[in-house]
Amino acid sequence: MKCANCGAEIKVGSVFCSECGKEAQIVLDYNVLEEDYLKVLLDEEQQQTRPTSQTDQTAKKRGSKKKKNSRWYIWVAVVCVVLLIGVVVTFFAIQKSHENSFAYQYEQGVSLVKERNYTKALTYFEAAAALEPHDVEVRLQIAQIHLQRKEYSAAEQALRKALAEDQQNKQTIQLLLELYEEQKKYDEIRSLSEEITDASLKQLFAAYTVAPPVFSPESGKYAEELKIEIDAAAQDTIYYTMDGSDPVKNGVPYTGEISLEDEGSYVIRAAVCDERGFYSPVESGEYEIEFIAPDMAVTNPSPGTYHDSVEITIHVPDGMRAYYTWDDVDPTTDSQLYTEPLSLPEGNHILAIVLVDSHGLKSPVARYNYIYQPE
């Protein structure tokens, strides 16, 4: 600071000027730079104290806008997170719903079969079968895929499960027949045929049906010995029994006529086996043989009185013998055997005749009165 009177420098803290002794009046040093600096300070002070200035309003607007933008971003982020959580939850809910939906699993399998993606289709069908164990259609789908891949054991298992649920399902039986035919499992085909009782479904086995044997002569009651013939296709084998047992299990091969020579009842059971080992239904021939004793013998000429010599002929049917006596005694097999016409002896005679057939049956004794009186 300087003295206002003499301009000398006044020491800090002094009350009087050390040069002129006047009371110190402080005059601040001044220069242009200091003035500019003071103006700047004043301007800044004015700006700070201006409450409604345009700068403050602009700054406030910018601050407010920034805050609003910041809040919008936060809300957008929150909404996005909520939506994302909703999408994830919905996705897993749908997945869980599909896992528990038989219709979805089945339809996916069908669609994949059309695309020939059998491996993946099988996965869906098996999932569907686990949801509906009694559904036949899904079992058939599984079986067809296994058949396509020649996985016969798995195919049979699926078809057997389907058949257990519905024995009237035609497609199930057809697929089983195809499976067994492919593997030449004819025993299984025969067994399957026995399981099926519906007449309309029996027609599915037509290709595996063998015509039954034919007996000749037909069953019936006969009074003579019989020669039974059994016919079938030339390439097939006939098995038969005569004790009433099953010819499929116990039969002997038929090689020629079966002779029935004695009286009695006979039951011949027979079945035909083709080259594949399929048997026909068992047929039976039932025969009763009861021999009939011969009728009385007939002679020629007729009984009567003759005056000229005559020869008497006895009619003897084929397979029989005639025995005779002239003295009215009943003939036996020890009596005279008729071999040629008899000369009528002179006098009055009773010709007694008996016929004996091949079975030893005897006719009633015939008695004819012949009288020969020569003139």
Q: Which of 10-24, 74-88, 213-227, 280-294 has the lowest mean pLDDT?
A: 10-24
Q: Are strands 226-231 and 214-216 parallel, antiparallel or unpaired?
A: antiparallel
Judged on CB neighbours under 10 Å (0-12, 13-18, 19+), 162 is buried
Higher pLDDT, 125 or 22: 125
pLDDT band at residue 162 using 50, 70 and 90 as cut-offs: very high
Give per-residue pLDDT as tens, 183-200: 989 889 988 988 998 988
Global confidence as pTM: 0.53
CB 105 within 8 A of CB 112: no
Domains by residue range for the chain, with CATH: 102-208 (1.25.40.10), 214-289 (2.60.40.10), 298-372 (2.60.40)
Q: Mean pLDDT, to the nearest integer, of 265-288?
A: 94
Residue-wise over 205-232: b if at least 16 C-beta within 10 A, else e?
beebebeebebeeebeebeeebebebeb
> Which of 14-28, 64-78, 271-285, 298-312 shows the lowest mean pLDDT across its residues?
14-28
- Measured between alpha carbons, how far is 322 from 342 in angstroms, rounded to an integer? 12
Which residues, including other chains, have CB under 8 Å from residue 85's CB and lie 6 or more apart? none
Give me the helix-helix angle, 102-114 and 136-148, nearest 10°: 30
3-state SS, residue 236: coil
pLDDT of amino acid 259:
96
DSSP 133-149: TT-HHHHHHHHHHHHHT
What gap in Å lies between CA 315 and CA 313, rounded to an integer?
6
Q: What is the pLDDT of residues 25-81, one digit of tens each?
A: 554 444 444 455 446 545 655 555 454 445 555 555 565 666 666 777 787 787 788
* Mean pLDDT confidence for 295-316: 96
pLDDT at site 29: 47
